[in-house]
Amino acid sequence: MSLENWEDVIDRDWPDQGPVTSETVRAIQYHAQRYGGTMREATGRVWTNEAYEARRKKVLSTPLP
């Protein structure tokens, strides 16, 4: 196995993780003990892409006082 020099990889973009779906949330909950993370992740309180977009639309359509 050949490791790359850290200077060559430090400025690379993160790989695309894809959308967060309800299946992703279930996988996060199932593997919570193994990977640690926050309590929100362990208990499944994670925004899915659909829920986030719905909330975003609602907030952006709310008129300011």
Question: Residue 21 has what pLDDT?
Answer: 94
Question: Residue 14 has what pLDDT?
Answer: 87
Question: Residue 1 has what pLDDT?
Answer: 62
**Residues 65, 2: Cα–Cα separation, whole Å:** 59
Q: What is the pTM of this model?
A: 0.64
**Residues 32, 11: Cα–Cα separation, whole Å:** 29
Is residue 15 over pLDDT 80?
Answer: yes
Q: Per-residue pLDDT averaged across 47-60, rounded?
A: 96
**Residues 11, 15: Cα–Cα separation, whole Å:** 12
39-22-52 Cα angle (round to 5): 80
Question: Residue 37 has what pLDDT?
Answer: 78
- pLDDT averaged over every residue in the chain: 89
